[in-house]
Amino acid sequence: MTYLREVWYLQCKAGCPAQIPLPNQNPPRKPSFQKYWPMGNGPLILQCHVCGRLSDYSVKDGHPISEPWVPLDQRPYVFQKLTISCGHKNCGTRVVIHMQTERDIPDLDVMKRGLLSRPMPTFSCGHVLTEICGMRVEKIEDESED
């Protein structure tokens, strides 16, 4: 028997055909799933895993589709959140980039891909992103019900 699940996708804005699924989140006491969107209603910065381009997405860019449900441990991809902190002295500004990667990729490779984004991510403070900037990688797992 095949179960369907509803998934929110973002269509790559750089002109390539990639569709990037957002993890589903099930907040307590909400009957339906909710797409992962940590930025309030602000833009989510996503690096396309196919073309490597970085684009800003707004909540309304998401569109739902139904697809066959696959157990979490059988999904080859995972959604990653890369937080980069400005390396300038006494500046705490951060920029957050998301991307889909293979599930078993080391954190270091996620960081490298982030640094290779085109266009480069920019800090709101105006300082330049360099390799001395602090970086943190978190996997965002899909939380839809099994």
**Applying CB under 5 A, which residues contact Zn ion?**
12, 14, 16, 18, 48, 50-51, 86, 88, 91, 93, 125, 127
**131 CB-contact burial (10 Å; exposed 0-12 / middle 13-18 / buried 19+):** exposed
| Choice between 5 and 13, CB closer to Zn ion | 13
Look up tokens 């196919």; give the residue.
Answer: 50
Closest CA to 84 of 74, 76, 92: 92
| Choice between 7 and 12, CB closer to Zn ion | 12
Closest approach of Zn ion to the CB of residue 2, in Å: 29
Closest approach of Zn ion to the CB of residue 49, in Å: 8
| Choice between 50 and 59, CB closer to Zn ion | 50
Q: Are 115 and 131 in contact (CB under 8 A)?
A: yes
Closest approach of Zn ion to the CB of residue 112, in Å: 18
Question: What's at 105, amino acid-wise?
Answer: I
Closest approach of Zn ion to the CB of residue 90, in Å: 9
- Residue 60, SS3 per DSSP: helix
Q: What are phi and psi of 34, to 5 degrees?
A: -140, 140
| Choice between 18 and 137, CB closer to Zn ion | 18
